[in-house]
């Protein structure tokens, strides 16, 4: 059984937690000040637990970063060495007035916080509302595509499994595509199937 560790039990963290639990994942959540909605999510659920950061990092197959980008500076990044870290954060303050996504993603600055992380970018380009529907009830062929961005092929495959489990069709591409997922990038909010996503990413490799 796979374990998803979620740092940040806010709107996105709780939506992904519910989707993952429905798909058979065990979920660990770390939040500085859990709100009642988070307690009610874990209460009475044997597959969900509130934990501290070190316990989450030690026991999770995938560590989802679901805190505000600015707050992420306070995380203990040393916990993530050699771990699969799924960055779902968006840095809204850098959008400014620019029409297009900058050529360098904020994901680059996330990787710099611990170069030994096995970093994957995904889940950031849809709203938490999208994750609340049970996508698995839909026809697989109609699934929306989700970008899974990493230079670590094994880490990307593990995250692609999570993405598939919560009802999306994963499309894997290299880290040089990360900026395309940022707000104002072409992937952000795009409702496309797998071929459509490959076009948006210009993806040269798909596993």
Which residues here bind ligand NAP, judged by CB under 6 A? Answer: 7-13, 30-33, 66-69, 71, 74-75, 88-90, 124, 127-128
Is 153 or 184 the residue whose CB approaches ligand NAP more closely? 184
> What is the DSSP code (8-state) at residue 144?
P
Is 32 or 199 the residue whose CB approaches ligand NAP more closely? 32
CB of 197 to ligand NAP, least distance (A): 17
CB of 22 to ligand NAP, least distance (A): 18
Is 78 or 127 the residue whose CB approaches ligand NAP more closely? 127
CB of 141 to ligand NAP, least distance (A): 25
Residue 201 phi/psi, 5-degree rounding, is -85, -20
Residue of minimal Cβ distance to ligand NAP? 10
Measured CA to CA, the distance from residue 49 to residue 28 in angstroms comes to: 5
Long-range pairs for 181-184: beta carbons < 8 A, 24 or more residues apart: 181/105, 181/121, 181/122, 181/124, 181/125, 181/147, 181/149, 182/90, 182/91, 182/101, 182/102, 182/105, 182/106, 183/90, 183/91, 183/92, 183/95, 183/101, 184/95, 184/98, 184/99, 184/100, 184/101
CB of 87 to ligand NAP, least distance (A): 9
CB of 108 to ligand NAP, least distance (A): 16
Is 23 or 91 the residue whose CB approaches ligand NAP more closely? 91
Is 25 or 126 the residue whose CB approaches ligand NAP more closely? 126
Cβ(125)–Cβ(158) under 8 Å? no
């Amino acid at each position: 059984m796979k374990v998803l560790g979620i740092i940040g039990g806010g709107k996105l963290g709780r939506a992904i937690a519910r989707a993952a639990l429905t798909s058979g994942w065990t979920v660990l959540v770390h939040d500085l000040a859990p709100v009642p909605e988070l307690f009610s999510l874990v209460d009475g659920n044997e597959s969900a637990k509130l934990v501290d950061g070190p316990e989450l990092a030690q026991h999770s197959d995938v560590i989802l970063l679901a805190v505000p980008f600015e707050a992420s500076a306070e995380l203990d990044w040393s916990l993530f060495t050699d771990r699969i870290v799924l960055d779902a954060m968006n840095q809204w303050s850098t959008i400014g007035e620019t029409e297009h996504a900058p050529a360098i993603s904020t994901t680059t600055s996330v990787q710099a916080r611990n170069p030994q992380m096995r970093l994957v970018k995904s889940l950031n380009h849809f709203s938490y509302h999208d994750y609340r529907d049970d996508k698995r009830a839909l026809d697989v062929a109609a699934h929306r595509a989700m970008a899974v961005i990493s230079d670590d092929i094994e880490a990307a495959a593990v995250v692609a499994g999570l993405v598939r489990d919560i009802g999306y069709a994963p499309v894997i591409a290299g880290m040089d595509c990360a900026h395309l997922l940022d707000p104002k990038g072409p992937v952000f909010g795009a409702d496309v199937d797998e071929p459509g996503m490959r076009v948006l990413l210009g993806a040269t490799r798909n596993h």
